[in-house]
Amino acid sequence: MQDNEFDFFVIGAGSGGVRAARIAAAHGAKVGIAEGRDLGGTCVNRGCVPKKLMVYAAKFNKEFNDSAGYGWWFFGLRHFNWQTLLRNKDNEIKRLNDIYRTILTDAGVSLFNGYARFIDPHTVEIDGQQVKARKFLIATGGVPKLPDIKGAEHLVTSDDIFHLDKMPGHIVIMGGGYIALEFASIFKGLGSDVTIIHRNTTLLRGFDHDIRKTLEQEMQKKDIRLLLDCAPLHIRKEKGKTLIQTDHGEIIRCDLALAATGRAPNTASLGLDLAGVQPSANGAIPTNRDNQTNIPHIYALGDIANHHNLTPVAIEEGHALVDRLYGNQPDRYISYDNIPTAVFTDPPIGTVGITEDQAKADKIDYILYKTSFRPMKYTLSGRDEKTFMKLIVARDSHKVLGVHMLGEDAPEIIQMAAIAVKMGATKQDFDATIGVHPTAAEEFVTMRTPSQP
């Protein structure tokens, strides 16, 4: 086999692609990978990791304010420096990039720095260099979309947020999904005025309706302005400000406008037609259970397949795929049931299993258990913030079908609750578990009285 010939070649060195490449190499395959941008993909460079660092930064303002109730006093001014946060964030991302490079090279994977484009079903071209492979994996992730409105060129996307020259005094965020709401909480926590414009009447489509309603209430308590059932008509610049005309007849003047209205599969420049791969109308690549495209030796996974757009899912998909291909594990598939997820808003959300609306749609006979309370932490600080918890339980089998939480530490708590749901735990199992006191999490094992749907 020549230097430019591989058993398995991965296009895209994000989380899913890197895992697939290194595990395939560990199984003995000759593996190459191409990446034209930063190693680690969206999650490491423009998504999960820098976002979570900003979430931590934003929480300090809240912690400082709450500490007064516990006897802490601050003399002089507290000052937040945006450039310090960005500089330290960039240093951490650089460290992670280097780790990804080491992971690949130590595994024996050949790294090509550049964008790969198919020129035929078994060949890609990378900056003029042709590379052949028996099998290809496309793992190029997604990219932010701009709304189709006049003046959209004046908007920034989530990719841009992590490199702003300065923090905006007033930011308008278009969208009502997790990206929009997480950035709303981040910038509010850091001291910006925040306005959300969302076309729908509720936030966080697909999440449990009680979680959505409670988050809306908590965001309004923090003076985040919510313009729901509202759409931007056009955008223009004037004297250094961004002006947004809405269909409510209002012109909103702000320092920065962020479009968080969705993402698209990153497949436009791959030369899929020359490989014979047939994408769907929105650019996603349809795949079967084996992650195969319509061309059997070309595979796709992660956000470009557009099934479950979560980093841990892409990682597990990549690992399972190469275990089947090169690890003599033909029955190695992952389960897409009961995938836990989190939204790092303020307060954050953790959820696993079905929502109440899904239970109704599937005609499941269910029992609800719900509770809402002010956490002990805020009894001395006086903060008006509630924690909300909800269990959806099958009436016949008593299995816990859904666990939903909004409140501090919800993402950490839901990870462990997901294990119980995945194992088929019943409400009796929850009830028989001794609570850890005093914690918020103990409420999940002490709810006894059913609630009305």
β partners of residue 264 = 143
Type and span of the H or E element at 427: helix 427-432
Strand, helix or coil for residue 246: strand
Q: Which string of DSSP letters, residue by residue, matches 82-117?
A: HHHHHHHHHHHHHHHHHHHHHHHHHHTPEEEES-EE
Show the tokens assigned to 241.
């400000």
Q: How far is the C-alpha of 414 from the C-alpha of 368, rounded, in Å? A: 18
Residue 111 β-bridge partners: 33
Kindly give, in sequence order, each residue whose CB lies less than 8 Å from that of residue 167, ignoring residues fewer than 6 positions away. Answer: 80, 82, 187, 190, 191, 192
DSSP 338-356: T--EEE-SSS-EEEEE--H
Residue 170 appears among annotated catalytic residues:
no
Query: How many C-beta atoms surround the C-beta of residue 57 within 10 A?
Result: 18
- Two tokens, residue 368: 């609800």
Residue of 122, 209, 297, 437 marked catalytic: 437
CB atoms within 10 A of CB 401: 22
For tokens 């709304």, name the residue.
Answer: 147
Contact 374, 407 (CB under 8 A): no
Give the Cβ contact number of residue 361 at 10 Å: 10
CA distances (Å), origin 5, targets 115, 322, 433: 17, 18, 56
CA distances from 20 to 39, 203, 316, 448, 450 (A): 14, 35, 9, 45, 45
Query: Active-site residue numbers?
Result: 437
